[in-house]
Amino acid sequence: MSSDVQTKRQAVRIRVRGVVQGVGFRPFVYREAARLGLSGWVLNGEQGVEIHLEGDASRIELFLSALETHPPAAARIAAVETERVRPCGYAGFEIRNSEKRDHPTVRISPDLAICAACLRELFDPRDRRYLYPYINCTDCGPRYSITLGLPYDRPQTTMGAWPLCDDCAREYHDPFDRRFHAQPVACPRCGPRYKLLIGGELVEREPIALAARLLREGRIVAVKGIGGYHLACDAMNAAAVWALRERKFRKEKPFALMVRDPDTARRLAELSDEAERLLSSVARPIVLCPARQTIEGVAPENRDLGIMLPYAPLHHLLFAADAPPVLVMTSANRSSEPIAYDDEDALARLAGVADAFLIGERPIARRVDDSIARDTVFGPQLLRRARGYAPCVVTTLPTSQPILALGADLKNSVALVVRGQVIVSQHIGDLDHFAARRAFEETIRDLCALYEVDERELVIAHDAHPQYVSTDYALHRASISVPVQHHRAHIASVLAEREAWEARVIGFAFDGTGYGDDGAIWGGEIFVGSLCDGLKRVAHLRSASLPGGDAAAHWPTQAAAGFLAAFDDARLSPLGDQLGRRFGLALSLARKNVRSFPTTSIGRLFDAVAAVLGFVREASFEAQAAMWLEYLARQSPPVQPYPFPFTDAELDHRPLLANVIADRQRGRPVQEIARAFHASIAQAVAEVSFTLAPRFDVDTVVLSGGVFQNSLLLEEIAARFDGRAELKIWCNRQVPPNDGGTSLGQAALAAFSRHTKKL
């Protein structure tokens, strides 16, 4: 080599962090290097993809530009680190085996919906994967749900048991092939298959076509998908839908729907541009949209339908086999239990629920539910974060301390912090169920094993509630445990998403239940502060009594008794017959302060108003009464709010409730009363914000907590901030505003606590 060429030859070492394994990144690098005539190597490391490039400086710059402008579609690049090094004189470019040196911090890809190229091949009779339900490539298919360890290579997935045939091996090892190092790659000759089980009899011939026929006949079929089993039936067959409700013990909670195609979705629901984008995104969540038509039994007393598009090859094959174009597709479990994902467990737990089981041979490494999202006036909002999103890193904290945050006992998720990167788990469930507690512990072991973290070295952050299952777990396992107040965790989750460490905000944490600093049941809390300096409670809803404590969440009439106990009998007597005997008993307890507890919960205030307006039965699922109240309010045009004064750092609910009672007694339509109540909450948020902002020199308002899942309330709030540029509003974007997001907030507050702060 001449001296002139040697002087022009440069070398760089590149490390790419983010979701860069299992998404076709190495073949992309190989092709770009070959196109530009660069030499060196690429490999999967434990912190991302590592690249060594040698060649002309201008060509290296072109490579870096391509890396930035058109990486693989499924990749999510968080950072690119470039370092100039000495050339080694490599003659060509190669893909090297993965390296293992230290604790992995590489970001695991979520499971991806089938891509357009694989979908074309799936229905091409000339393709060797024609009608093969496990078709995939580097741009699509399962990732997280089949990963057993890192780095992400085939032996570390549940596909390790299926050796590649010659054709699949050739594709797998060809850097110019779409299936180069696609770890789940398989074909009918060498890969797993599906089978159908009906009444204990195994059917292997055309199982998908037979399952489609059973669905057409009104039967209930358990279908093994990407992250677990679904229970499926014809959504337009009311008898099948009600049978599923009865067998699943799911009285009224809405069912999710899977529809054949976007046109079917548009016929069923009103889709905004953002809702369509969510529906067709690679994550393929369930998207809540206003219904165009009522489907009996699917979403009683609810304005919205939860709709998703097919995301696995199997789903497309079912519809192609003439399954009904609209299917109920709900998690395969009995009410509130975790989704079944192991074959033996599914057969045992779903016996008597499903008429047949469509079983895939590929094992699922971990259960992953469908995610739920919606379009709101403040942008997309996740209500359940799972398939398609988990376990993506949601933020990077300024700490080197490994932290495990355990979340709340309802809608539980956990968060693991490794070298500052916060990995939030998939939705786990409610920890008052034994199966969910087992799933909680499995998820913790799973994440710690994947990232090779010794649980004994972790700081464990947990909810401050002394009786939570997660608190007990922390206290028995942590060398350092950090209790985090529930509502501060809600506000912190929004700040952590935005990496707004020093931003001072007014934070509204509105939900149903959370253990307060004073031991009371909080849920209408207003904070001022930042992650760096702490969040100080500066105001709250006026305290009321809650007879029966947390049990009142199941009976709105009990919540009503606690909030109305201060009113005299003359005002309440007309409501007595309507609210029933339970209300009278609870009212007596509240007035005597027997088995009653102080609460500042906005969630329980919603329940109280719902009871006054007619929701007097037991709630069959969490927040049902509040959802019913929103459903009523949607049926009214905008109306004026009731008085809801903010004085002495309290929002006084008494004038509001007095007006609700008076309007109810004078016969005002309940729809208008419900709308006025929503307007009152929104008006209070605006008035408190504009009062406190100049006092505390703050220009940002944060909204978090389960109450802010109410899209009508968000619309009412947005209308009151419209044109007021002095304040901006932040809501949750990457984790849910409900308790599914508190693990992120706990991790952030723990990172900034005196125990773990390492800036």
The string of pLDDT tens digits covering residues 89-130 is 998 999 887 665 555 555 688 999 999 999 999 999 999 999
pTM above 0.75, yes or no: yes
> What pLDDT score was predicted for residue 1?
41
Contact 104, 38 (CB under 8 A): no
Q: What is the pLDDT of residue 758?
A: 38
**φ, ψ for residue 485 (rounded to 5)?**
-65, 135
In sequence order, which ranges of 187-289 are alpha helices (DSSP H)?
207-216, 238-248, 262-268, 273-280
For residue 382, what pLDDT is reported?
Answer: 98
How far apart, in Å, are the Cα atoms of 412 and each of 244, 273, 323, 418, 739? 26, 31, 34, 20, 7
Cis peptide before 151 (omega within 30 of 0): yes
Q: What is the pLDDT of residue 44?
A: 80
Number of other CB atoms surrounding residue 601 within 10 Å: 33
Give the pLDDT confidence score for residue 519 in this predicted structure. 95
| Torsion angles phi and psi, residue 297, rounded to 5 | 85, -10
H or E, element range at 307: strand 304-308
Burial of 238 (0-12, 13-18, 19+ CB in 10 A): middle
Tell me, what's the pLDDT at 3? 42
Tens digits of residue pLDDT in 147-179? 998 777 899 999 999 999 999 999 999 888 999
Q: What's residue 6's pLDDT?
A: 45
**Cα–Cα distance, 736 to 746 (Å, whole number):** 14
Instruction: Determine contact, residues 310/260, Cβ cutoff 8 Å.
Output: yes
Contact status, residue 503 vs residue 495, Cβ threshold 8 Å: yes
Q: Which residues of the chain have pLDDT under 50?
A: 1-7, 756-759
Tokens of 235: 């959504």
Task: Write out the two tokens for 202.
Answer: 């195994």
Q: What is the pLDDT of residue 5?
A: 43
Quote the CA–CA distance of 560 and 579 in Å, as a whole number.
Answer: 9
Cβ–Cβ under 8 Å, residues 515 and 751: no
> In this predicted structure, what is the pLDDT of residue 101?
53
